[in-house]
Amino acid sequence: MQGSINDGTIEEVRRRADIVSLIGEYVALKKTGKNYTGLCPFHQEKTPSFNINPEKQIFHCFGCGEHGDVFSFFMKMDGLTFPEAIRRLAGKYGVVISERTLGRNDRERYTLKEQIVKVNGLAVEFFTKTLRSQKGEKAREYLKKRDVGQSAVEQFRIGLAPEGWQGLLDFLERKGVPVTIAAQAGLAIPRSGEGDRGYYDRFRDRIIIPIADTEGRVVAFGGRVMDTGLPKYLNSPESPVYTKGNNLFGLFDAREAIRSKGFAVLVEGYFDLIGLWVSGVKNVVATLGTALTRSQVELLGRYTKKVAAVFDPDEAGRKALARSMELFLAGNIEAKAVILPDGYDPDSFVRAKGRGKMEEMLAGARPMADYYIEEILGNSRSLQERIAKREDAVAFLKRIENILERNQFLKKIAENLGIDQDILKKEVGKTFSTLHAPDGRHSVARAAGEPDRLELSFIHMLLESPELIALLGDGDIFKFFKSNGLKAVGESLLLNLEKESGKNLNMVSLLDSMEDEEIKKALYALMVGDNPYKGEQRDRLFDDTAKQIRRRWYKEQHRIFQEKISRAEKDGDRELCQSLLQDKERLLNEEKTLV
């Protein structure tokens, strides 16, 4: 895949990209010395262990071990291939990658994901033009009745799928898009029956709302009827670029407002979000009409650790609150519950009461855990209800992995349900202790896989000070390495010296080409910090480390020879014993000259 984009273009993108500003779009960063730190976006944590070195343009998490540069960050965060990450960053920084419009050659060269994103962009063009046309009069009137003005239509790229079975497909055909790609994008459905009966448009006679990913690329669509037809909403199926539970509607547009306000408002549906946005509440995202998922909480957690989630006051709303709270706790999100009055959803409430009332509701929101314990678990009248609530409470407590948080909630729940705290704790502990029993073997295995510290330090010095590579001569030092992985890194450094005269050491490319993941993590952990090797002290340490590596190797060889000599003496093999003694003598003489 990398061959389709030349190395010069890749390096130009790498040179222009600023890793701090890019990762800062996903993670709240704080300057710590020369580096920047934040909560890792790749695992749940409360104390920042994610580090960025702006000088070297690399990142490393000391918690989970994730590491890399700007390209690998985008690949890991958004599930991109290497060429996709290059093109994304090239577009952001104005680096031109020569590409033609979507034709036969492009279809062969582009990945399926890239083709689908391009097709979705063409579909947006078709839907928005249709809304502006004579065919869109009914849809424009519908949006007007819902107080969705032109600014919102443009902001969310709202469009219209016309009546008929082939409107979009005919448009895409004129653009040279194969119908099979439209089908894989979720825009077309194969006709039922035997044989090849063709395809028809998935979306027909519906308001269309594009769903964008965190980069603003359209990955799916939602369609709403304008009358009482069913289903009220029709959504794109999952595709290579879209997984429903991994996206949040409106997040791309709300990122800056979320950072500015310091929290996000979470609602359920498209028009709930659009209604709040029209009123002036811009820091809002939506779950695409489904139950909240762990992936969505993790995604939102990249931008804020505070959320005000809006719920209906009915039974479905209470269940949604309970499910959501467990996810927020697991994601280290400070969540508050906004409970609307009976008969309202966020859109109807803000249209009827105005932005001021909605902001009052947000400001007065209670911590979600408090609301759940006091209003849901604690609100029971009969003995049967109390027993059922106790079972719910035990199930809820068992799902809280953090022992401090679990004990804190256990105390509150015991008080609200009128249960003895020790009894509740024992009931929770019955299953929890077996589910989370520690496995001592894991730490032993991890320790056994740690790279050799002496050899690791030597390679680290070479990476921090590439000019030292020229002092290695023919590189015989690497013959004395115990670690094959570190030996391979050293030999790659020598090869780079021969190719580039030691001028252009691409540290990240070299590290990423390594196969040993443990060594790669260890080197990134060292490289993300300041360079500790400077001046005369560095030169002395470099020589001393090389000598220690050699001495250790010779010491091991002497031990092996001594074992062989002892066995030969025990077996009475004088000839072998004499030969081994001679070899040991040569080894001693060789050691004197090299160490």
Domain range list for the chain = 2-93, 104-242, 246-368, 378-434, 451-594
CA-wise closest residue to 285 among 257, 318, 317: 257
Residue 58 near residue 68, CB atoms below 8 Å: yes
**What pLDDT was estimated at residue 445?**
31
Q: Which two tokens stand for residue 309?
A: 């989630």
One CATH from 1.10.3720.10, 1.25.40.10, 3.90.580.10, 3.40.190.10 for 2-93:
3.90.580.10
Which two structure tokens, joined as six digits, stand for 116? Answer: 């689908």
- Alpha helices (H) along 150-261: 150-155, 167-174, 179-184, 251-261
Using alpha carbons only, give the angle 117, 81, 1 rounded to the nearest 5 degrees.
105
Are 338 and 365 in contact, with CB atoms under 8 Å apart? Answer: yes
Q: Please tell us whether the domain made up of 104-242 is placed in CATH 3.40.50.10170.
A: no
CA atoms within 13 A on the CB side of 300: 36
Type of residue found at 325: M
CB-CB contact of 294 with 327 (8 Å): yes
Question: What pLDDT is attached to residue 396?
Answer: 76
pTM of the model: 0.63
CA–CA distance, 211 with 219 (Å, rounded to integer): 6
The pLDDT of residue 433: 46
Residue corresponding to tokens 């697991």 = 330
pLDDT lower than 50: segments of the chain? 1-3, 99-102, 108-109, 432-448, 502
Q: Is the separation of the CB atoms in 160 and 171 below 8 Å?
A: no
CATH architecture of 246-368: 3-Layer(aba) Sandwich (3.40)
Q: Which of 92, 171, 77, 58 is nearest to 124 (CA)?
A: 171
Tokens 């252009």 identify what position?
504
According to DSSP, the residues that pair with 234 across neighbouring strands are 223
**Measured distance between the N- and C-terminal CA atoms of the chain, rounded to whole angstroms:** 46
Residue 244: count other Cβ atoms within 10 Å of its Cβ.
18
DSSP string, 415-476: HHHT--HHHHHHHHHHHHHHHT---HHHHHHHHHTPPPHHHHHHHHHHHH-GGGGGGGTT-G
CB 527 within 8 A of CB 56: yes
pLDDT value of position 209: 98
